């Protein structure tokens, strides 16, 4: 009841508010309000009336909170509590502009070993056959572009083998950013990968651990592989700076 009285009383002083007041009231509302299951806030007109602020000041407050990642807005759908989900080409492009190859590798080291561990626990025989097929096709690649396509497919197949749709979605976003940030800038391409390229043997180790249901070994093998990729990436970056 007290909360309702506070919100109703706001309507008495709309003309005296400013964007700072609107921001404070909006933060207070978010802290105590019960939002819908999808996190959607009331329409702008209704929210302004409930907070007792003008719509122009409310828009400024919404923009401030959106910049902080407290809310996000989707044109035509409304305003939602939380950070904007990464689900469009524009979002990936924005991430690409804000990150760098080193951060990409840190993210991979955080996510992919755990995915390999889960794959060892949940992979089906079909999943394992797919992983082995990716390795075979990557070895047969005639160009780096072909190799990288099968390398991407291999890592996604590991993600699929986890049986976790959310992790797979995170991996897809990471892969999209990785391809734009890392390989788009730094690859010095020979015609095709050397037969002794480190990834071939490292991929085999990952699949062997998954097939053996050895979760710890799968995580270690994936971490070892990502570390090798990181070392080669740093070497290319250093050559590019020479």
CATH assignment, 89-241: 1.20.120.530
Q: Which DSSP helix (H) or strand (E) runs through 72?
A: strand 71-74
Task: List phi, psi (to 5°) of 192.
Answer: -155, 165
160 contacts 168 by C-beta, under 8 angstroms: yes
Query: For the chain, which ranges sit under pLDDT 70?
Result: 1-17, 32-38, 83-90, 182-190, 236-242
Which structure tokens are listed for 140? 């047969």
Work out the widest C-alpha separation in the chain, in whole angstroms: 76
Q: What is the pLDDT of residue 11?
A: 47
Give the per-residue pLDDT at 220. 98
The total number of residues shown for the chain amounts to 242
Provide the 8-state DSSP code for 15. Answer: G
User: What's the token pair of residue 49?
Assistant: 């009336």
pLDDT for 7 equals 44
What lies within 8 Å, CB to CB, of 62 at 6+ separation is 26, 44, 71, 73, 79
CATH architecture of the domain formed by 2-81? Orthogonal Bundle (1.10)
What are the residue ranges spanned by the domains of the chain?
A: 2-81, 89-241
The predicted pLDDT at position 185 comes to 46
From CA 210, how far away is CA 206, in angstroms rounded? 6
Residue 193: exposure state from Cβ atoms within 10 A (0-12, 13-18, ≥19): buried
pLDDT of residue 175: 87
pTM exceeds 0.85: no
Q: Which residues neighbour 92 within 8 Å (Cβ) at sequence distance 6 or greater?
A: 86, 173, 176, 177, 180
- The whole-number pLDDT of residue 194 equals 80
- Residue 221 has a pLDDT of 98
Q: In this structure, how many other beta carbons lie within 10 angstroms of the beta carbon of residue 218? A: 30
Two structure tokens written together for 91: 């979002």
């Amino acid at each position: 009841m007290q909360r309702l009285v506070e919100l109703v009383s706001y309507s008495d002083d709309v003309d005296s508010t400013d964007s700072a007041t609107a921001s404070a009231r909006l933060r207070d509302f978010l802290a105590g309000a019960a939002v819908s299951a999808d996190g959607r806030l009331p329409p702008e007109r209704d929210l302004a009336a409930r907070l007792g602020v003008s719509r122009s000041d409310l828009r400024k407050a919404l923009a401030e909170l959106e910049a902080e990642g407290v809310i996000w807005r989707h044109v035509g759908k409304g305003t939602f509590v939380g950070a904007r989900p990464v689900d469009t080409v524009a979002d990936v492009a924005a991430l690409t502009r804000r990150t760098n190859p080193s951060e990409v590798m840190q993210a991979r080291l955080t996510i992919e070993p755990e995915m390999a561990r889960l794959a060892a626990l949940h992979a089906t025989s079909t999943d394992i056959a797919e992983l082995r097929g990716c390795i075979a096709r990557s070895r047969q690649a005639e160009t780096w572009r072909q190799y990288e396509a099968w390398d991407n497919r291999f890592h996604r197949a590991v993600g699929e083998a986890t049986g976790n749709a959310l992790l797979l979605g995170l991996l897809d976003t990471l892969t999209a950013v990785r391809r734009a940030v890392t390989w788009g800038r730094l690859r010095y391409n020979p015609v095709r990968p050397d037969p002794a390229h480190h990834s071939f043997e490292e991929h085999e180790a990952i699949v062997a651990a998954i097939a053996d249901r050895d979760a710890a070994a799968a995580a270690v093998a994936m971490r070892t592989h990502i570390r090798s990729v990181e070392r080669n990436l740093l070497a290319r970056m250093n050559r590019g700076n020479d």
